[in-house]
Each structure stands twice: as C-alpha cells, then as structure tokens.
C-alpha cells in the first residue's frame, strides 16, 4: 500500500493531497506568508482520528503541524512537505453546559462560534476581538479580549482540555488530572499536543453592550492619546476597554480609530467615554449592540489573504509624545501605499490579569501594562516587501522601546504578547525571554510529555535533560 493510501485508511476523516482540487484552500492561511506546501492535509472527524494521525506520522517520521483557525502569521500551523492536522472542519463545535457554567469548545472552533453559542445561552467568556480568529492558538498562548478586565486571560478561565499527546495517548488535563501539563497548556502554546476540546468557564451576560468605533483625523492624534491617558490613569472599571489604532484609512487618509467597549447600559457607556466623544470624532458608531457584534468591528480591515508581519511590545500607559513620534513613522512608511503599517494600543484594565501570580500558569506577562501591537500588511509577493515591512515595523517599534525606557513604572518593555510573533524560527533565547521564570518548568513538562519534540513549532521549548 502506498503511504497516501495507508494514511487515508488510518483515520476517520478526509485527506487532501497536492494536486487535489481543494488543495490550495486546504493550505490557505489568514496571512499568505504563513502558507506552506504540505504533503498531507488531514481533516480528522474526532479525537481518536487525531490520535491515529499522530501515530501514523510518528511511525513514518513525518513532521506535524496543527491548525486551529490558521491566524498565526508565523507559519506555525503550516508545514512545508510535512503533515497538517486541520481541526477547523470537524472539531469545531461549541456548546454550553446545561447549568450554563462552561463552554465545551472544539479545538478547531472560531471565536464567532463561541460568541454565537454564548448569546443563545445568555453567557460569555473572554475571547478574541476579531471573530474569525481560531480558539486554538489564541487560548494556548494566553488570550485576551474585551471581557478580560472582568474575567482575566482566557487561560484563567480554562477548566479542562482533551489533548492528544505525542505518543498518541488521549488524556484530559485539569487542575486535578495531569496538573503539570494543565499548567503548561495555559500559555505554553501548542508545544505539548493537539487539543481537541477546551472547557472554558462562562458567565451570565446581558444580550447587548455599549460599543463601536470613533474615528479622528490623524492630525489629532496627540489630543486623542491625551484623552486615552487621562481615561487610563483614572483607573477604568473592569467593564471597560479601548483599542486604539493609528494607521491610514483604506482611502489612505491618516486616521486614528478607537474601539470603545462598556459591558452595560448605553447611558453609562457614553458617560465613561464622554471625553473621547467630546473631541468630536468625524465618525462615531458607538451604540447599543448585541454582544457578538463587538468582535466584528475590525473584520473589515483584518481580512484574510494578505501578507502580514506582526510583533508587539508593552508600555506603562498611553504616552502622547511616544505615540505622536511613532505615528510619524507609520505615515512615512505607508506613504507610497505598498505596505500598510499601523500600531494598536490594547487598553484592557489589567487588575484581574495581574491578580493571578505569574508562576500560577505558564503565561508569563501579567504585570500591569498595556500591550502595543505593530502590524504591516501588503499584497505583493517578493522578499523585498517582506524585508521592507519588517524594517518599517522595527522603526515604529523602536520609538516605543526607546520611549518606554523613560516611562516611570514600566517593567520590561520587551517582549510583547507571545501570540503576536511572526517569526517561524525563533532562537531558544527568544523563548526564554518570553517565558522567563516559567521556562525551566516548561522544559520539565516538555520532557515528560514530548521529549522527542514532535510539537516543535511556535516558541519551541527544549525538553529538559532527563
């Protein structure tokens, strides 16, 4: 029997091979540069099928990649000439328990599936702010969203996972079952196996919230950041959040856009964000919206199928001088229209996240700071564009790094959120720098569950010596 036929017979699900009509679709990723020409793309129908695929790949010495939603720009859910286990076609169901205390979420579901099940049951949990992002990578890397002020990181709400290990065993991990593995899965990424189900706590949720987008001409960035700083320094309630994007509009006009979110009545939301509204945005869509709508605000810009470079850092808070200087770089680098550049301040009240001790989960970045995401997107193939995008983002990021050293109260401005990496190959020093004091324990768990490094993509963890 040929290897192809052997694999096809080995598991319950579909196999797509190079040359098949749906091959291009099967290897497509949110960022074009994350695509790789896999030799086998598998779509398992259940957890046993995942186990059979892992065993087959192991016995044939074929490298594995696991795809959830396919949004990592690093290529870590793709495999050049290897085998992909794509969970997105069948292992994507989301249900809510009868007592409405937890979500059961397939390892290949998208956040829109969670949002839909949540609104049908009057519950919610923190999740991704762009609803077509996958749950898999986002949860395993930590995860935050509009509800993080109230309920913390996504991993802080994880109750249990079902996971296929490197040797094909299927286990559940929780505080009481395989606790070390459970610790590592809360922030340590896809380094330990294939998660086919996540169980996440959920909370009673009103059906509508106050939210929307406010747009200002780019020349008003200093005033907008001053208001953002005042709002941030006043200590927003856990029910509020702001995402601030400094970029150009699709019509190439300099624009600063803020997403406002308040988990409550419109009148209270308008009061919370009155200083932003008083600035007189050129567009203000903020209104009472059904909960799932808040995770669609960015869908029109976060479209599939563009080349993308992302990276991140952290800051003590919004700083007008830093943001104005960085915005000059954004406008300069995006002037000719070949590469779109932007920075995004992620302003989620941090007390709940910081209330969990850093060593309680593998997720390492819990100090009270704001996240800054840098993004370049472009449409032309060619290394020169990739190099240019990376250099331009470096010049924007450098403004924040240099400025950060002058910010009082800032602890460790680099690195930023691990899930925003775009690098396919990261040296061990990067992984150590991300996980810091948690790295040694991750190495021990890696040795226990995947000592041959079957799951080696994303931030690789070197198994501890025996």
Ligand X SMILES: Cc1cc2nc3c(=O)[nH]c(=O)nc-3n(C[C@H](O)[C@H](O)[C@H](O)COP(=O)(O)OP(=O)(O)OC[C@H]3O[C@@H](n4cnc5c(N)ncnc54)[C@H](O)[C@@H]3O)c2cc1C
Smallest distance from ligand X to CB 220, Å: 26
State how far the Cα of 49 lies from the Cα of 85, in Å rounded to an integer.
Answer: 10
Interface mask toward ligand X for 435-464; x: CB under 6 A: ----------------------xx------
Exactly one of 144, 216, 231, 400 binds ligand X (CB under 6 A); that residue is 144
Smallest distance from ligand X to CB 299, Å: 9
Q: Is 415 in the site for ligand X (CB under 6 A)?
A: no
Nearer Cβ to ligand X (67/352): 67
Q: Is 190 in the site for ligand X (CB under 6 A)?
A: yes
Interface mask toward ligand X for 342-371; x: CB under 6 A: ------------------------------
Q: Is 149 in the site for ligand X (CB under 6 A)?
A: no
Smallest distance from ligand X to CB 325, Å: 26
Exactly one of 30, 261, 262, 343 binds ligand X (CB under 6 A); that residue is 30
Exactly one of 141, 168, 269, 416 binds ligand X (CB under 6 A); that residue is 141
Contact stretch for ligand X (CB under 6 A) within 143-151, 205-213, 278-286, 390-398: 143-151
Residues that bind ligand X (rule: CB under 6 A) add up to a total of 34
Nearer Cβ to ligand X (261/403): 261
Q: Is 297 in the site for ligand X (CB under 6 A)?
A: no
Smallest distance from ligand X to CB 76, Å: 3
What residues from 71 to 100 belong to the interface with ligand X (CB under 6 A)?
71-72, 76-77, 87
Asked if the bond preceding 415 is cis, omega within 30° of 0, the reply is yes
Q: Are 57 and 69 in contact (CB under 8 A)?
A: no
Nearer Cβ to ligand X (108/236): 108
Provide the binding-site residues for ligand X, judged by CB under 6 A: 30, 65-72, 76-77, 87, 107, 128-130, 133-134, 136-138, 140-141, 143-145, 190, 194-195, 302, 419-420, 457-458
């Amino acid at each position: 029997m040929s290897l192809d036929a052997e694999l096809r017979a080995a598991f319950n699900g579909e196999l797509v091979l190079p040359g098949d009509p749906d091959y291009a679709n099967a290897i497509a990723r949110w960022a074009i540069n994350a695509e790789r020409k896999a030799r086998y793309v598998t779509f398992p129908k259940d957890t046993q099928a995942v186990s059979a695929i892992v065993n087959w790949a192991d016995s044939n010495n074929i490298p594995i990649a696991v795809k959830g939603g396919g949004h990592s720009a690093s290529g870590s859910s793709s495999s050049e000439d290897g085998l992909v286990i794509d969970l997105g076609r069948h292992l994507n169901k989301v249900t809510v328990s009868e007592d409405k205390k937890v979500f059961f979420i397939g390892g290949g579901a998208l956040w829109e599936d969670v949002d839909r099940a949540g609104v049908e049951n009057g519950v919610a949990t923190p999740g991704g702010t762009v609803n077509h992002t996958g749950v898999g990578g986002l949860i395993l890397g930590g995860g935050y969203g509009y509800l993080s002020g109230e309920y913390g990181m996504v991993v802080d709400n994880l109750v249990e996972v079902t996971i296929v290990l490197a040797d094909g065993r299927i286990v559940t991990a929780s505080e009481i079952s395989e606790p070390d593995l459970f610790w590592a899965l809360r922030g340590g990424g896809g380094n330990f196996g294939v998660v086919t189900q996540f169980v996440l706590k959920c909370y009673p949720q009103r059906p509508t919230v106050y939210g929307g987008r406010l747009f200002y001409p780019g020349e008003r960035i200093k005033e907008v950041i001053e208001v953002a700083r005042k709002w941030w320094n006043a200590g927003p309630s856990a029910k509020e959040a702001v995402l601030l994007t400094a970029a150009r509009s699709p019509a190439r006009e300099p624009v600063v856009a803020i997403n406002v979110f308040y988990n409550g009545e419109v009148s209270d939301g308008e009061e919370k964000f009155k200083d932003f509204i008083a600035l007189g945005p050129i567009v203000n869509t903020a209104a009472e919206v059904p909960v799932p709508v808040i995770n669609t605000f960015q869908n029109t810009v976060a479209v599939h199928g563009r080349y993308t470079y992302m990276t991140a850092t952290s800051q003590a808070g919004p700083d007008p001088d830093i943001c104005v200087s960085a915005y000059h770089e954004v406008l300069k680098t995006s002037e000719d229209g070949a590469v779109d550049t932007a920075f995004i301040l992620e302003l989620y009240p941090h007390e709940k996240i910081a209330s969990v001790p850093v060593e309680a989960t593998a997720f390492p970045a819990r100090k009270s700071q704001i996240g800054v995401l840098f993004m370049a997107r472009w449409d032309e193939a060619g290394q020169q564009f990739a190099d240019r995008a990376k250099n331009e983002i470096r010049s924007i990021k450098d403004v924040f790094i240099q400025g950060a050293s002058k910010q009082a109260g800032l602890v460790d401005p680099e690195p930023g959120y691990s899930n925003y990496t775009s690098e396919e190959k990261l040296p061990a020093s990067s992984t150590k720098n991300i996980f810091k004091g948690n790295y040694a324990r991750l190495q021990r768990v890696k040795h226990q569950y995947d000592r041959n490094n079957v799951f080696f993509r994303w931030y690789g963890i070197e198994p501890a010596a025996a």
